[in-house]
Structure 1
Amino acid sequence: MPFHNTILSNKLVILCALLSATGLWYFGYEIQRSNFPLFIGLFAMLFALFYVTVANGKSHFLVLTVMAILLRLIFLPSIPNLSQDFYRFIWDGRMLASGINPYLSTPLSYIESGNLSIISQAEELYKGMGLLNASHYTNYPPINQFMFYLAGILSSKSILGATIVLRAIIILAEVGIIIYGKKLLEKVGLPTYHIFWYALNPFVIIEMTGNLHFEPVMLFFVILSFYLLVINKWIWSAVFFAFSIATKLLPLLLLPLFLNYFLTKGGKITTHFRSSYPLKVRFRESVKNLPKLIYFYLIILGLTLLTFLPFIKADFVANFGASIALWFKKFEFNASLYYIIRYIGFQKMGYNIIGTAGPFLSKVVVVCILMIAILRNNRKMLDMITGMLIATFIYFLLSTTVHPWYVATPLLLCVFTKYRFPLVWSFTVMLSYAAYGVSGFQENLWLVAIEYAIVIGFFIWEVFLKEKMPVEVLKSST
């Protein structure tokens, strides 16, 4: 890049950083989610600034890294104003700090019993999390609970202090994602600046650092696991993948996608053997790698179960299972295909069929993921991550509940692929905040339809149409 253009690029990045900092400060301390026009307008501005920043600062990795960290630090002393979940995090952490198993009771049961002295600020935490959250058993896995516990012991009497502890953990995880995301991109031969499509995305900064959602911790373990697998440290890879499951359960869905990668030594068998080699020869070589795959799965599942062991009591399985089941049988938010099925159910049956449709769709997801694992070429790391991206996309398309922060997983996965439809989704998913109006919660299904029409349309174009277009057409459109 010419020296003059470099100076102009640097000035533009600095200007975008200052404007982004101003907008993110407003998100952290002033904005109300009920003011949707201001909310979506300001977010659109931040998203445009983010795109310009990455496009013009791609050759300045250190500058963008520092910018990503500083923008997150803006939120450090703030109380989340777009989500209530953190009140439950603090409640669970203080329960653990008091030596009480958080899986065996609900906050509501303590409030109704009048036993408010069990944790500090019990009434304030209860009111903050809301009745819906307080009436259900916790569904956060053990490593997540450990982080809540840290907040419970480091700040047992201050909600703000506890949020700072939780936010510091998330920021550290995000830094880890940048570091190991860069290493993984280098290993698979992709530009390292791609990690900033995740790390500088205002959606990620607002939803994760701002609203205290712990997807970054899970995703850090996932990316670290992938990196260790690439450098052939598969045992440690299994350990950290188990940690990801013990933080959020979602990576459980991705386990089948390791099948072809292990059986072909990360694609090495397919390049070593000519296609003219008998199938039985290639099959025999794949079978030799089967024990390693089995050990990999056993380490993951065994270590995951081990993290749950301290919490397993008489009612644990029933309570935890009931909490997880709510996501398939009761909760509805920002769904796509499910809302169409629900509408058909109302027309045919006259009532909401979520109790049967939700579990059925979850079974469809499992079948789809198994088909991707078995039939798709997932032999190399990039192919495997692409398969995982498609699997998570299918999972969310068939889910009854898709909160905005869920999109962080496909967004980070897409960084290591040639697809960018989750990047589009990281903008359109914020349309779901229109549901939180001044008069109460009411989803705008037109906006939900627009959100998914854009994302699914972009997905179809990228996956099925883009590669078939003549090169001349693609060049003229970029």
Structure 2
Amino acid sequence: MMLLSSILYYVFAYHFERTEFIKLVILFAGLLVLCFKIVQFKKLNLKFILATGIIFRLIFLITIPNLSQDFYRFIWDGELVSNFINPYLTIPNDLILEPNLLIDNAKELLVGMGDLSPKYHSNYPPLNQLIFGIAALLGFKSILGSVVVMRIIIILADIGIVYFGRKLLRKLNKSPHLIFWYFLNPLVIIELTGNLHFEGVMLFFFVWSLYLLAQNNWKLAGVLYACSISIKLVPLLFLPLLLNHFKFKKSLAFYSIVGLTSLALLLPFYSSEFIANYSKTVGLWFSNFEFNASIYNVTKKIGVDYFDAKPWELIKSYGKLTPIITILTVLVFTFFRKNHDLKTLISSMLWVLSIYYFISPTVHPWYIIFLVLLSCFTNYRYALIWSATVILSYWAYSDPNYIEHLGILTVEYLIVFSFMIYELSKQRNKL
């Protein structure tokens, strides 16, 4: 099983183009089955599972990502940071015109980003930028060198997730092997190590923080929680949920630690223009972009077909509602659910993030990885099903015009919602 999986990952890494949708589905389906079998038969053998997961990841070590081009922007920002240039203040399309540009391989990086990213300021948080800078420095001015450094950091983060995830599972009186559903999950390996998304680094700090909360070491947990936010902003969603987990004064102290640590990480990049540039770029995700949406696609279909709504106007209007619905969801789970114990708190996090993704107009496959990790600490497994079906969204890359196939997306979400409803019907008294 390990050998066959290694072969499939090798084919994926070195002999696959993202336009080959059928090949993608076959490879991914094979890896899913083998992942299930490995965990089923070897779940008590930590050394074997750990070695297997590391080997699968190392297969990708010296290859360029083939499903995402985001890493070109990572390297671009890293080159700026390593030269003490603030990445939040410049736009690549403008910077490339400067005669004394310090970025190595600037034209190759700009072309690699595609048409969209070079038009906007960077939206990656401060600690992520520091990692980009380290990758640029240690990568010896080479694109592949920077890629290798980033991959090593992501692999180490995943190993850390296994370490603290097992400890947290024991604290929750759950089997430690459940973390392997994250560590050997093909989506996790392909999207993080393969395609260089930094959700794994965010989740390393996040799960470490949760473990420290279980240890009642909430002060250090606050520092690490801030580090998680400074990689990706997603954990911000969960901060209100901690009101019921702590007493009021303790929650304020925790928030203060998170806030001060976040400010300290932001300080090297702060300028008068930073807030305006960053908030504008982040806001685009709510009102301009769409990919692999569920409820939004249904809304758009009804609006366009029955009310003659213009798609570009619809997404802007919908984008204004998304933050409001998200805030209301967070408030409901904050004030109408008892999040005193860690099990309930993590379950609330799972549902808040799930609802956010269900209503979001943009749900890239790697977003689901956060749900995969959270599900390991709960009794719900629909996120694992979603991690299997979300690969169907890559149909868009097989279309020359990058047009999504609504029928395929319908299959993806029908499976996910059906399994989720089935689980809720079994555990309706535990939500």
Does 2:401 match 1:440? yes
2-side partners of 1:448 and 1:306: how far apart?
Answer: 42
Could you tell me how far 1:317 is from its partner in structure 2? 1.1
2-side partners of 1:110 and 1:467: how far apart?
Answer: 54
Does 2:256 match 1:298? yes
Could you tell me how far 1:467 is from its partner in structure 2? 3.6
Match of 2:5 among 6, 12, 20: 20
Residue 332 of structure 2: aligned partner: 371
2-side partners of 1:200 and 1:85: how far apart?
Answer: 23
**Partner secondary structure for residue 259 of structure 1:** helix
Deviation string for 1:321-343 (max 9, x for gaps)? 11101100100100110111222
Does 2:201 match 1:217? yes
Could you tell me how far 1:313 is from its partner in structure 2? 1.3
Residue 466 of structure 1: aligned partner: 426
CA 1:136–1:468: 2 relative to 1, 3 Å: closer
- Paired amino acid for 2:177: Y
Deviation string for 1:133-184 (max 9, x for gaps)? 1111110000100100001111242100000000011001000000000110
Larger radius of gyration: 1
Matches within 5 A, 1:443-454: 443-454=404-415
Cα RMSD between the aligned structures?
1.3
- Paired amino acid for 2:170: E
- Paired amino acid for 1:350: A
- Paired amino acid for 2:320: P
**Partner secondary structure for residue 52 of structure 1:** helix
Structure 2 residues without counterparts, runs of 5 or longer: none
Contact 2:62/2:144 (8 A) holds in 1: yes
**Partner secondary structure for residue 104 of structure 2:** coil
1-side partners of 2:201 and 2:317: how far apart?
Answer: 33
1-side partners of 2:257 and 2:317: how far apart?
Answer: 34
1-side partners of 2:358 and 2:47: how far apart?
Answer: 36
Residue 157 of structure 1: aligned partner: 141
Does 2:29 match 1:71? no
- Paired amino acid for 1:119: I
Residue 348 of structure 2: aligned partner: 387
Residue 371 of structure 2: aligned partner: 410
Could you tell me how far 1:200 is from its partner in structure 2? 0.3
- Paired amino acid for 1:307: L
Contact 1:120/1:156 (8 A) holds in 2: no
2-side partners of 1:44 and 1:370: how far apart?
Answer: 38
Contact 1:174/1:199 (8 A) holds in 2: yes
Runs of 4+ in structure 1 over 3 Å off:
114-117
Match of 2:102 among 118, 121, 124: 118
Contact 2:139/2:148 (8 A) holds in 1: no
1-side partners of 2:30 and 2:422: how far apart?
Answer: 25
Match of 1:314 among 272, 295, 303: 272
CA 1:468–1:315: 2 relative to 1, 3 Å: closer
2-side partners of 1:55 and 1:336: how far apart?
Answer: 32
Does 2:8 match 1:48? no
2-side partners of 1:442 and 1:234: how far apart?
Answer: 46
- Paired amino acid for 1:351: K
Residue 310 of structure 2: aligned partner: 351
**Partner secondary structure for residue 115 of structure 2:** helix
Residue 272 of structure 1: aligned partner: none
- Paired amino acid for 1:115: P
Match of 2:162 among 175, 178, 202: 178
1-side partners of 2:3 and 2:57: how far apart?
Answer: 13
Determine what percentage of the aligned residue pairs are the same residue: 44
2-side partners of 1:316 and 1:345: how far apart?
Answer: 36
2-side partners of 1:309 and 1:430: how far apart?
Answer: 38
2-side partners of 1:294 and 1:314: how far apart?
Answer: 28
- Paired amino acid for 2:380: Y
- Structure 1 length normalisation: TM-score? 0.87
Corresponding pairs, count? 426
Structure 1 residues without counterparts, runs of 5 or longer: 1-15, 263-288, 470-478
1-side partners of 2:184 and 2:384: how far apart?
Answer: 12
**Partner secondary structure for residue 429 of structure 1:** helix
CA 1:26–1:232: 2 relative to 1, 3 Å: same
CA 1:236–1:44: 2 relative to 1, 3 Å: same
1-side partners of 2:179 and 2:206: how far apart?
Answer: 14
Residue 256 of structure 1: aligned partner: 240
1-side partners of 2:214 and 2:101: how far apart?
Answer: 50
- Paired amino acid for 2:307: K
